[in-house]
Chain A
Amino acid sequence: MNAPAIELANVTKRFGEVEAVRGVSLAVAPGRSFGLIGHNGAGKSTLFRMMLGLIAPDAGELRLLGERSTGARFRAVRQQIGYLPEHVALYDNLSGLETLQFYARLKGAERSDCDTALARVGLAHAATRKVRGYSKGMRQRLGFAQALLGKPRLLFLDEPTNGLDPQAIHDFYRIVAELKAEGTTVVLTSHILAEIEQRVDEVAILRNGRIVAQGSVAELRERAELPVRVMLRVDDAARAALIARFDARPEDAAHVSLQVSRENKLARLAELAAQSGVQDLRIVEPSLEAVFLEHSAEEAA
């Protein structure tokens, strides 16, 4: 039973003339978290909708938990999936608890799951209030609670932290980590790359319907071979010396920064540390955003 939780082979989807997804292949092992990154229109949503079985691919093979998500077994597969759509819309006239009870019934989940899920996302206090009166963040959390009903083995979260405040985002990822520890496979998209990169095991970068890069965040960084940036706290003499010698960029009165390529990183760091007047140094790894931009630029070139 060690089949990948998600398996896509050469999946293609066309809408008229537009090829929204082109020959995408990927596999996500059970219990891993996977981030899907891409501009609007890159094909993220189409890919999500195909994985959920909402639309059928024109070509290619698609399996969730070892089975097709369409056809005779679709119910069995869907029962093990939790889904939070982007900009989730819920029924205004129901209370938070009633909302979950409705979805629990359709998912064949226990009624007691509803209270547990509400408490888990921190909405127990608003259980009997109508969704009409919920804030955007509360709606998002209720949508997340809905996805947790029935203890899914596979979670699809489309821009899950949209509209959440920093504390709620922190809480959200804490729950995702707990779910992962319980063996749930989590797939999520986000446009805030800095947010996703610390929290998923693996990412795929989607551009114009194609996966242009896939791997762990560290692997992608390696592959992109972007220079690291070194931040130095310096006195005035060292500041002038560094600017003259290494073409360092002044940041503020006490700091300069410079780019160091990966190959001579250690040698250069030793030099910098030996420079008199350098009081402190800090290495800033390139963000995934930078990696992503790099890939986008390559593609455009």
Chain B
Amino acid sequence: MRAPTPRMADTATAEVKTESAMRLVLRQTGAIAGKEFRDRVRNRWVWVIATVFAGFALAIAYFGAAGEGQVGFRGIDVTIASLVSLVTYLIPLIALVLGFDAVVGERERGTLELLLALPITRGEVLVGKFFGLAATLSVATLLGFGLAGAVFVGAGGDALFHYAGFVASAILLGLVFLAIAVLLSVVASDRARASGYAVGTWFLFVIVFDLVLLGGLIALGGSSTGEALPWLLLANPTDVFRILNVFSLEQVGALYGLATVFPPALANPAVLGGVMAGWIAAPLALAYWRFK
């Protein structure tokens, strides 16, 4: 073993190498992401999900007021409020199904062995998988809700802005659960277990969390927990998604009566968006740590 002797020339080549190393990272990540996305376009994932979203959105927009004895396209704010409820259930489910076997699936089928022996790092495999699936989910969501959004074109700039905000936040919510799904796919030892974890995750965040929170609030009489409530809601990305959309709609905000209990600092879309970004980054970071 000889000790490396540093020379002036090394610095220059090192810089050149860093630049091409960056390109290499992008190329490897892109190759994985590209395959992942192409696979889902081919097996019609993208189209099926887009159709589901478009169908639900149009149905809600048209039939949403049927309970009040009328049908037909209603105001965009009310439609968005209904869509928010739907998306809260649907998007986490779709994202978890999309991503739960990202790594464990390849491990179980045996393709991971060869993949990891190639000139690619585990981080690149993981990030590539996430981006490929993220593109799948984003494109499907945009297509589906974009198509449905076409009926609101006449509704005016403000309404469209709200709708765009809703679609963007729906995508963010999807990415959060995708990141969680990728984490599960790294942690789980086989696909069956991973799907179990995914179902558990969905129940936890979509159903159990709010029930427990509500129960706790009632049990403690609401005095001390009342102030902590908004902060606790940040621990659940589906709640963050709800808050994001409720606060963008003044009418609806008033309707829910939330504006009075919610501290203004937390009602800022940028802060809430930041929380969502954290919810994407944290599971991925954890997944990377476990995968390494």
Contact = CB atoms under 8 A, between A and B. Distances in A.
The answer to whether A and B assemble together is yes
Interface string A213-225: 0000000000000
Contact of B119 (A87, A89, A108): A108
Interface residues of B, number: 20
A179 B32 CA distance: 29
Given A90-B111, A91-B111, A93-B42, A85 B117 contact: yes
Contact of A89 (B28, B31, B113): B113
A107 B118 contact: yes
Interface string A94-122: 00000000110111100000000000000
A146 interface: yes
A85 B24 contact: no
Interface in B111-131: 111, 113-120
Contacts of B111: 89-91
Nearest to B32: A106
Interface stretch (A35-43, A75-83, A162-170): A75-83
A107 B113 CA distance: 15
B192 to A, nearest CB: 18
A90 B111 CA distance: 6
B31 A106 contact: yes
A93 B109 CA distance: 13
B117 A103 contact: no
Interface in B16-39: 24, 27-28, 31-32, 35, 39
Interface in B135-180: none
A85 B119 contact: no
Contacts of A146: 114
Interface residues of A, number: 24
A226 interface: no
Contact of A105 (B31, B42, B43, B113): B31
Q: Which of A74, A85, A105 has the most CB of B within 10 A?
A: A105
Contacts of A107: 118-119
Nearest to A74: B119
B143 to A, nearest CB: 22
Contacts of A85: 110, 113-114, 117
A134 to B, nearest CB: 14
A75 B119 CA distance: 5
Contacts of A87: 110
A105 B27 contact: yes
A103 B118 contact: yes
Given A74-B119, A106-B31, A89 B110 contact: yes
Interface in A228-267: none
Given A102-B31, A108-B24, 20 more contacts: A54-B113, A54-B116, A54-B117, A78-B117, A78-B119, A85-B113, A85-B114, A88-B110, A89-B111, A89-B113, A90-B111, A90-B114, A93-B39, A93-B43, A102-B35, A103-B114, A106-B115, A107-B119, A108-B27, A108-B119
CB-based closest 5 A-B pairs: A89-B110, A78-B119, A75-B119, A105-B31, A83-B117
7 contacts: A54-B113, A75-B24, A75-B119, A81-B117, A85-B113, A105-B31, A106-B31
